Amino acid sequence: MFRYLPEQASKIAPSVDWLHNWITDLSVLFTVAICGAMVYFAIRYRKRDGVDHETPRIEGSNFLEVVWTVVPTLISIWVAYYGIVIYQDMREGENEALVINAVGKQWIWEFQYENGKQTVGEFVVPVNRPVKVVLTATDVLHSFFVPAMRIKKDAVPGHYTSVMFTPVKTGTYHTFCTEYCGTNHSGMLAKLNVVSEAEYERWVNDRSDDLAKLSMTPAKLGAKLYSDKGCVACHSLNGTRLVGPSFLKLYQQDGRKLADGSEVKFDEKFSVEEYIRESILHPAAKVVESYPNGLMPAFDGQLSDGELKGLIAFIKEQDGSAPAQEEEPASEDMTAKLAAMSLEELGQFHYESKACNGCHSLDGSQIVGPSFKGLYGKKGELADGTEYVADDAYIQESIWDPNAKIVKGFQPNLMLQTYKDQLKERDIQGIIAYMKTLQ
């Protein structure tokens, strides 16, 4: 009864579920038996026709006492016994396990591998090898929970705890913080990627990203983040108004007006660097006049100090001295490369290079625009109350003329209206093909 458990992706999952189902079934059995008896007696011996029906008074039954003491005791011992056995199975292979350090902090999970590789909000493990996650926390209690692996353990500041699992299938699984730890507790998630041994080796030894970042000047790093993190989708460099304020001459703008009527003043207490930092980490703190609030995701916990300094340096560089960058015409190389791509690849390429990713998520979460996940073929309501079906024609129209149909709950005028010149029929077909893979 009640078999609603998530996918079994670890070696231990079937035994955990087996015991869990037994406990559930026994609980259901006793609940039904006890409450059933209660209801039965309440009806059977109710007061009828204004007359009490007295029940016989029974005192003491050694037989009954023994039965209802011994049976639950045996059941409890049985449950405890299998709990211990399964727990021991869980810790099997501890000595040869791959060790990953995980740190919980408000509100991210940070992972560190033995070779020094670090990731935030995502970790990768090889399939069919025991993994030991050593947990700790920097601020408050968090709890590390990967339902598909059937593991859950507290992360405690000042202590180390650990949890083990052996993944048996490749795939992507959700990791949660499952202990209330403050405002963004519900957003304290991480992605677990289980991959083949070879792919894992390649990934864990690939330090090129770290090295590249280390050798960049702050402004170069900022420029890379500007496109990687999707800032480019909403903040122009040439003064054009997109979803958010342009970065052009932003650094010099003392006294800009805010939505609440106040002005930003820079002085020794509140420097322009502090203003930019705050606006990246907590976008809602100061919203510039005439811009809507709540559209920018908060980057708190997603950028290191070095990365923040890089973005600040990059924004400082946009002082108008560099000629506004024209979009480079596609070189012959590029044209040939694009032509050689399959439709799905082409769609994914545009999704990333045209910065669709800044506003349209792939995992169903709502950013500025509707998520691409499950979008193709979806039916829904538009802002004007009519219905839409996300077929080929609808998607093409939405890219070429974004204001033609606005989905209920979203705002018009936020998406660029220049894609008609940039994306031709085959590009649109590519994006549609890519969307179809995101069901």
Residues that bind ligand CUA (CB under 6 A): 104, 107, 142, 177, 179-181, 185, 188
Contact 312, 273 (CB under 8 A): yes
The nearer residue to ligand CUA, 154 or 273, going by C-beta atoms, is 154
DSSP label at residue 232:
G
| Least gap, CB of 142 to ligand CUA (angstroms) | 3
Tell which residue, 6, 7, 5, has the closest CA to residue 168: 7
The nearer residue to ligand CUA, 72 or 182, going by C-beta atoms, is 182
CA atoms within 13 A on the CB side of 22: 12
| Least gap, CB of 167 to ligand CUA (angstroms) | 23
The nearer residue to ligand CUA, 110 or 345, going by C-beta atoms, is 110
| Least gap, CB of 104 to ligand CUA (angstroms) | 5
Burial (CB < 10 A; 0-12, 13-18, 19+), residue 143, is buried
- Report the distance separating Cα 52 and Cα 46, nearest Å: 8
| Least gap, CB of 133 to ligand CUA (angstroms) | 15
DSSP label at residue 252:
G
The nearer residue to ligand CUA, 179 or 307, going by C-beta atoms, is 179
| Least gap, CB of 307 to ligand CUA (angstroms) | 22
How far, in whole angstroms, is CA 328 from its chain's centroid? 34
Burial (CB < 10 A; 0-12, 13-18, 19+), residue 298, is middle
Contact 190, 122 (CB under 8 A): yes
Strand order through the sheet with 118-120: 118-120, 108-112, 98-105, 131-137, 161-165
Q: Tokens standing for 425? A: 């029929």
Contact 178, 148 (CB under 8 A): no
Contact 373, 254 (CB under 8 A): no
3-state helix vs strand vs coil in the chain, percent to 5: 40, 15, 45
Tell which residue, 246, 308, 244, 316, has the closest CA to residue 280: 308
Tell which residue, 53, 51, 25, 24, has the closest CA to residue 41: 53
The nearer residue to ligand CUA, 137 or 415, going by C-beta atoms, is 137
- Report the distance separating Cα 353 and Cα 232, nearest Å: 10
The nearer residue to ligand CUA, 181 or 359, going by C-beta atoms, is 181
DSSP label at residue 250:
G
The nearer residue to ligand CUA, 2 or 180, going by C-beta atoms, is 180
| Least gap, CB of 205 to ligand CUA (angstroms) | 30
The nearer residue to ligand CUA, 144 or 247, going by C-beta atoms, is 144
The nearer residue to ligand CUA, 189 or 258, going by C-beta atoms, is 189
Q: Tokens standing for 399? A: 């890219």
Q: Tokens standing for 369? A: 């625009």
| Least gap, CB of 240 to ligand CUA (angstroms) | 39
| Least gap, CB of 139 to ligand CUA (angstroms) | 9
| Least gap, CB of 103 to ligand CUA (angstroms) | 11
With H, G, I as helix, E, B as strand and everything else as coil, classify residue 402.
Answer: coil
| Least gap, CB of 112 to ligand CUA (angstroms) | 18
The nearer residue to ligand CUA, 106 or 166, going by C-beta atoms, is 106
| Least gap, CB of 182 to ligand CUA (angstroms) | 7
Contact 136, 157 (CB under 8 A): yes
- Per the listing, tokens 């006890």 go with 34
The nearer residue to ligand CUA, 19 or 120, going by C-beta atoms, is 120
